[in-house]
Amino acid sequence: MRSTIGNPTKADRERFLAFRSIGCVACYLQKRFADADVHHLLSGGRRRGHRFTVPLCPPHHRGIGFVEALHGSSLATSPKTFRSLFGADETLLALTDQLVARQLARRVGAPHTICIMRGSA
């Protein structure tokens, strides 16, 4: 099935690669680490694009292996509760952008102040 947002660019693939080191952003807020899936943020029920992504582990993302006491909430099963615990989409996106910038700066030895430009949704 072909995606409506097209194939990831080289920059998008670099972003997704950084997610491996960052781990789940919700777990990060809980001071834990877990491997993460790429979650595409939505607008009007449609994916906004590859730059509008956050890393979420399977329990936080899809509720797979979910344990409420450990994870707090799943985006798939309780989106309102998830957002009340971890923040709105834009908050998680801003945090993810900061973490990605730090990760990319470490990898290439660039300055720690990197501006990530996003296209319009």
Give the domain CATH number at 59.
3.30.40.190
31 exposure class (CB count in 10 Å sphere: 0-12, 13-18, 19+):
exposed
Each residue's pLDDT expressed in tens, for the chain with a length of 121 residues: 345 788 999 999 999 999 999 999 999 999 999 999 999 999 888 999 999 999 999 999 998 887 776 778 899 999 999 999 999 999 999 999 999 999 988 876 555 444 454 554 4
Please tell me whether the overall predicted TM-score, pTM, comes out greater than 0.85 for this model.
Answer: no
Q: What is the residue range of 90's domain? A: 10-108
Helices 79-86 and 89-108: angle between axes, nearest 10 degrees: 60
Residue 16 belongs to a domain:
yes
Q: Give the pLDDT confidence score for residue 112 in this predicted structure.
A: 45
How many structural domains are present in the chain?
1
CA torsion through residues 79, 88, 18, 117, sign: positive
